[in-house]
Each structure stands twice: as structure tokens, then as C-alpha cells.
Amino acid sequence: MGWFFSKPTAVPGWMTISIDPDVTKLAHVSFNSEGRPVVGTWSVIRQPSGQTLQQLSRNLNLANYHCSTLLRPGDYQLLLVEAPNVTPDELKGAIRWKIKDLIEYHVDDATIDVLDIPAPAGKAHSMYAVSARNDLLQRQIKDFEGAQIPLEVIDIPETAQRNMAQLFGDVERAVAMVSFDLAGGLLTISYAGELYLARRIEVAWDHLAVEIDAERQRYLERVTTELQRSLDHFERQFTHLSVTQLLLAPLPTELGIAAYLSANIAVPVRAVDIAEVMDLPQTPEMGPEAQWRLFHVLGAGLRRESKAL
């Protein structure tokens, strides 16, 4: 998934720049001759984003890269809809009509993309519709243009997490992965490069890291319930696929969350280390906090598409 805006540039791989209110994150991901992802430049910068973009563009010659960015959860809607029975060239128009009463603004003010969910013959066929306000996207494009950064793709965390999950998963089975950041939790289940399920969990990392044990326990119980319900729903909807483990994305601090979830969910839980599947630079070392902050940025950098949607 991704909204494409300009022609490719020179340096192989993707430089993804993600802008949050308090921090700007970036990482460049390419692939070596064996197809293994390699992380080059990366940074986590705490200062005003406009100033940061201009400095980064000058210091890293970003005009020479394929550049992408990620929307924040509140910047878009991901909607599950029944797949319309139309030709491919009519698809986005049909999806636009289906979601016109589901989005929070007029459909004429929306940019829309579609993620297909493969279904076996005879089963109901669904799709994810991704919708964002035109004016929000235009502001992002203008910010990057002002810093002379050639923005080619605007992506979302769900597809970035799908990309990361595929690096860790068994090609014969569906891959479930959950991550937690300051915006909340995100569960994805994917198979063969396709996103089958995406669910937001209203529990953020700072909830899980609270110092009061009773409060942390309540949040963990909420997470456990949401995860198990989602896994059960997936099994009912996609009986031809199986999930044998849940991957827990990197967290900044070890608090025993993987062990708790594994003891309370029907499938084993495994905390992952990005260094298992990507070559990381030694200087500066990408420790647990950096892996946590850059998780979706790195996932967006795994994009391999060579043409616009």
C-alpha cells in the first residue's frame, strides 16, 4: 500500500522519514546481493519537525534518495468493506461509494487506496479501504517540498508492520505480530505478503510501562482479551490459514510482557530482535529503544514496488 507522487531517484532502497509532534525518525533500508535487508543511515531527532527536515535534507543529500513517510494513526482511516463486483479500473470508484458514509469528511475531500484480502473460492471477499484527507496529504507534501525532499510514497503503519512480520514468519503459515508505541497497540496478521487483519488496541506503551503494578495488570488483561478475540476471529474467517505464534515487536524496556502474554494466550509469544533479520549498523548501535522507535519506519523501508499503484 502507498500513495505515490513522483518519479524514482538514484540511490537504491528507501529512506523513510516519519514526523511525530515530539520527534522525527528516519532510516534508509536497501537489500544486499542475497536479498537481506541492510540498514544504513538512521536517526531519532527531538526538535521541531520543519527545522529538522531542512537540516536532514542538507546533511544527508536526501534529494538523491527514494523517500517515503508514514501517516500517524489519527491521520487516516482503515475500513473493512465487502469487495465490489467490478472491473479493476472501476474498483476505487466503487470503494469510494461504499465508504462515503463511513468516513469523517466528505468523500470528495478524500484520497483513497485499497488493500485486497485474498479469499478462497466461495468465501466472502473483503478489502481494506484506506482514506485520508486531501488537505492533510497536501500539507505533508508541501513540508517535504519545502525541505527539497522528493517524497514518493505516503504509507501507513499497518503495511509497514506487515512487511516486518514477513521477515520473521514461516512462509507456510500466517504471521501474527503486535506492536506498542505511544499511539497505542497494533495487531496485524499477514500471509504471503498480504495483510489479512489489522486491529488497533487502545493501550499504548506508556500504559504498559506504568509503575503501579495493579494498573499495568489491568492494561495487560485488556491487551490479552483483545488479542485472543482477534486471533479467534481470524481462525473463524480464514479456516485455511493457521497462526502458530504471536510475534511481539521490539519494546524499549524489558517488562516481562512477552512472558505474560504467552502464559495467557492460546499461542506462544516471541519477542523479536530486528538484528535477527536485518543487517544493522554498528555505529551508532541500534539498541532496544531505537529499534522500538524505528520499527515501522524500517518496515516502510522494506517496500519493493517498482511502479505506482
110: CATH: 3.30.1490.300
The grid cell for 163 is 512487511
CATH number of the structural domain spanning residue 142: 3.30.420.280
- Same structural domain for residues 229 and 162? yes
- Same structural domain for residues 101 and 193? no
State the Cα–Cα distance between residues 288 and 236, nearest whole angstrom. 35
- Same structural domain for residues 25 and 146? yes
Residue numbers of the domain that contains 37: 3-72+136-156
- Same structural domain for residues 198 and 81? no
- Same structural domain for residues 17 and 52? yes
- Same structural domain for residues 91 and 215? no
Q: Are strands 246-248 and 175-181 parallel, antiparallel or unpaired?
A: parallel
- The confidence score (pLDDT) of residue 309 equals 31
List of the chain residues with pLDDT < 70: 1-9, 48-50, 305-309
- Same structural domain for residues 169 and 267? yes
- Same structural domain for residues 180 and 250? yes
- Same structural domain for residues 101 and 187? no
- Same structural domain for residues 177 and 111? no
Helix, strand, coil % over all residues of the chain, rounded to 5 = 35, 30, 35
State the Cα–Cα distance between residues 97 and 114, nearest whole angstrom. 13
Give the count of domains, the chain: 3
- Same structural domain for residues 104 and 114? yes
- The confidence score (pLDDT) of residue 8 equals 52
- The confidence score (pLDDT) of residue 5 equals 54
- Same structural domain for residues 183 and 42? no
| 221: in domain | yes
Asked if 168 and 153 count as a contact pair (C-beta separation under 8 A), the reply is no
